[in-house]
Structure 1
Amino acid sequence: MEKTLAQQGETYFLNLRFILILTVLIGNAIEPLIHQMDGIHALYLWIFSFHMPLFVFVTGYFAKGALGGEVGRKTLLQIGLQYTIFQSLYSFLDVTVFHVQNIHHSFFAPYLLLWFLASHAGWRLLTLGMHKLTPTAQIILSLVLGILVGYLRLDGAWLSISRTFVFLPFFVIGYHFSFEAFVQFFTKQKKLIDAVASIVLFAIIALWGLGIPEGWLYGSMTYMQLGHQEWYAGLYRAAFYGLEFIAGASFLAWVPFQQSRMTDLGRRTLYVFLLHGFFIRFAVVSGLYSYIQNPAAALLLIAGAVLLAVALAQPAVKKYAHPVIEPSVTWIIRLTLWVNRYRNKASTFFR
């Protein structure tokens, strides 16, 4: 029974992961339009109320049993290599091909979507550092840290420090999440209630929530950067945590438990995530958005984002992009072993 539940959990979370990568592409694709069309703005805010918290939650779930030891070290090395490769690629193309102005290119300032890689490494290390605490204590501590980080007097985008701590609670919750308890709790009636709640939340945002500052949902800025230097500014973040927990929990109602083609696509969301930025950047600099002036054109753009996600999740993309997206770190481990061995021999020789 345990194996069956584990397989069901993997299927459910792979389905969720692919649905979330769809929302990532849709959100990034419609961002240039949010101040032109209220409906698009409402969709954008609704997506951002849950998609990154849930993406971090899923990442924490799949990190179970793989934080420490050799597997954990290899994962951290691969994240570092991915970050180095794509930080260089995106910056190089911005300068040479897209000619984008006013962007500070630095390995200490993650390029747009690459914040997730920098923060992923941070979530793993922080969760490892809290391993002696109970799961409840880890969640409480991560929430406190997520609120306190906003008071720092620095640029929150530096090494993605703000997002690392702001979204840490969702990683910790995902890491300790029990799918068995979830299945027992998430009855058909509760699923229906959650689905209705998700629709109601969208309606509330569309009718009264268009004034919500997007910066609070991004999690990338300190309170000072958000224009709030009050001592109680942390209460706003606590309120947004409440919104994100409600939005994320209610969105789970839309995720199927059954295995399907979506499940297989969910295994390759990393390829979609790291590659789609090139297409979004090209769309922006090509002037495509100047032709999107009405809801019908916006719907076509959304359909294109969905098709792009499906295309980038195909096995053929993995076949050719695998060396860049999931680079081997064996050579780094071997080089480290060789350096340590050489250092030990040298220290012995000079004694």
Structure 2
Amino acid sequence: MTETCTTSGGRRAPLPPAGEEAPRPAAVPAPRPGGAPASKAGAQAKPRDAFFDNAKYLAIVLVAMGHAWEPLRDGSRAAAALYITVYAFHMPAFIIISGYFSRSFDMRKDRLQRLITGIAVPYILFEVAYTLFKRWADEDPGYSISLTDPWYLTWFLLALFVWRLTTPLWKIVRWPLPLALTIAVLASVSPDIGDELDLQRVLQFLPFFVLGLCLKPRHFKLVRNKRARIAAVPVFACALVFAYWAAPRMNAAWFYHRDSAQELAAPWWSGAVMTLAMFGCSMVLVACFFAWIPGRTMWCTALGAGTLYGYLLHGFLAKGSRFWGWYDTYGWMHTPWGAVLLTLIAGTVVTLLCTPPVQRMFRFAMEPKMTWAFKKDPVGMARGRN
């Protein structure tokens, strides 16, 4: 892994949970004297990389499965071990991909517009929607809307908005990753940060985003080979064994990165130790996860374009199952076969929520064009007339 950020553009792909930034369109070569372009290759858009779409889809499936396992942890040590293992790498994987596809972000007008319509607007809409849902489903009419205190899954959109805005800064510093790790460590020992803007998560997850900014295609190729895939098997096996041992002994809140060490009833210095140790463990597991991701186009590849939809929409069902007491009412959910069935249901539901019909239905909220909200670009208009 490198500590110097690249400024080259990534391939075009949709926004979160992998939060990708659209690259600058390839320049069309100047016409020859006869009026024909010198080459048509520059005007052709780069194809999508199936590897990243597959990675995003499988990661969002793990997110949904993790939410399904959460209420089972108290009664099942195996469920707790799976939960801890998945939470150690699934969000870091998303964030690294988000950073990788943010490499081309600058303060250009079209990219700022995309930042607003693809991240800020969905954040506002779903923060309001989740709040209203909580009032109704949890019978909590006093719960108020707060755009500065994100609830449940919306924290990721707010964090991605902040990270994306800081991208130009990370491109100019000499050692971006060590600096980001230092900020994360300081945040983990600072209980006075509070809950505003979910800054603890923004700062503690920051190193993964900065790492994504610093990666190049060749770094992903290092883990996309047969030897890496074989090595990932014992590594994940050891992780599961350790998680099974640690489940009754460790506070799983460490994996959320939303609290300081003092808020987790731990000594302040443990925040620094845990931040660095968990970053290292997460990176090993993320590398193993990427090693298993197929690079060819598969039936699920197209679903990688809809991970934002699956991410935000499945949250209503995940929270509703708690509000309505499904895990307390239906005892079969706490049996081994019930846990397996819940896992399959979670994977199926989030898969359906990533499909094109759902994308078309909710595109008004996830990817609004909002041309009416922005001033027209006089330079672009002049080019269009010419």
Scaled to the shorter chain, the TM-score interval is 0.7 to 0.9
- 1:104 CA displacement: 6.2
Task: State the match for 2:16 in structure 1.
Answer: none
The count of corresponding residues between Structure 1 and Structure 2 is 333
Q: Which stretches of structure 1, 4 residues or longer, exceed 4 Å deviation after superposition?
A: 5-9, 100-105
Matched, 1:257 2:300: no
Q: Deviations over 1:25-83 (max 9, x none)?
A: 01112111111111111110010010011110111122231343123312331222111
Taking the aligned partners of 1:257 and 1:319, their CA distance within structure 2 comes to: 27
Q: Is 1:99 the counterpart of 2:139 in the alignment?
A: yes
Seen in structure 2, the aligned counterparts of structure 1 residues 12 and 25 have a Cα distance that, compared at 3 Å, is: same
Matched, 1:63 2:105: no
Aligned equivalent of 1:31? 70
What are the superposed Cα offsets for residues 288-322 of structure 1, whole Å, 9 maximum, x if unpaired? 21212211111111110000011101110011110
Encode CA deviations 1:177-206: one digit per residue, 9 max, x unaligned: 222343256431122112321222112212
d(CA) in 2 for partners of 1:255, 1:35: 31
Partner of 1:49: 88
Amino acid at match of 1:268: G
Alignment of 1:193-208 (within 5 A): 193-208=231-246
Name the structure 2 match of 1:123. Answer: 163
1:319 aligns with 2:357: no
Residue 72 of structure 1 aligns to a residue whose secondary structure is helix
* Distance in 1, Cα, partners of 2:107 & 2:51: 25
Aligned-residue offset at 1:9: 7.6
2:177 corresponding residue in structure 1:
139
Q: What's 1:269 paired with?
A: 307
Q: Flag structure 1 segments of 5+ consecutive residues without an equivalent.
A: 338-351
Aligned CA RMSD, in angstroms, stands at 2.6
1:305 aligns with 2:346: yes
Q: Which residues of 2 match residues 275-290 of structure 1 at below 5 A?
A: 275-290=313-328
Q: Percent identity?
A: 26
Equivalent pair of 2:187/2:193 in contact (CA under 8 Å): no
| Distance (whole Å) between structure 1 residues aligned to residue 376 and residue 224 of structure 2 | 49
Give the TM-score, by structure 1 length: 0.87
Superposed displacement of residue 208, structure 1: 4.1
Whole-Å separation in 2 of the counterparts to 1:97 and 1:280: 12
Amino acid at match of 2:167: T
- Distance 1:43-1:252 versus aligned 2 partners, 3 A rule: same
Higher relative contact order at CA 8 Å, sep ≥6: structure 1 or structure 2? 1
CA distance in 2, matches of 1:15, 1:62: 15
Contact 1:9–1:179 under 8 Å retained in 2: no
Q: 1:194 to 1:104 in 2, by over 3 A?
A: farther
CA–CA separation in structure 1 for the residues paired with 2:278 and 2:350: 28
Which sections of structure 2, spanning at least 5 residues, go unmatched? 1-7, 13-45, 379-386
Work out which of the residue numbers 248, 251, 266 in structure 2 matches 1:213: 251
Residue 126 of structure 1: CA displacement? 2.4
* TM-score in terms of structure 2 length: 0.80
Q: 1:235 aligns with which of 235, 260, 273?
A: 273
CA–CA distance in 2 between the matches of 1:335 and 1:99?
45
Kept in 2: contact 1:85–1:324 (CA 8 A): yes
1:180 aligns with 2:218: yes
Match of 2:264 in 1: 226
The structure richer in helix per residue is 1
Q: Letter of the 2:297 partner, please give it.
A: Q
Which segment drifts farther, 303-312 or 170-179?
170-179
The CA deviation string for residues 124-176 of structure 1, in whole angstroms up to 9 with x for no partner, is: 12222222124xx1111111111111222325432021111111111111122
Which residue number in structure 1 is paired with residue 154 of structure 2? 114
The letter of the residue matching 1:116 is: F
Alignment partner of 1:22 out of 52, 57, 61:
61
1:161 paired with 2:199, answer yes
Residue 174 to residue 8, structure 1, CA distance change in 2 (3 Å)? farther
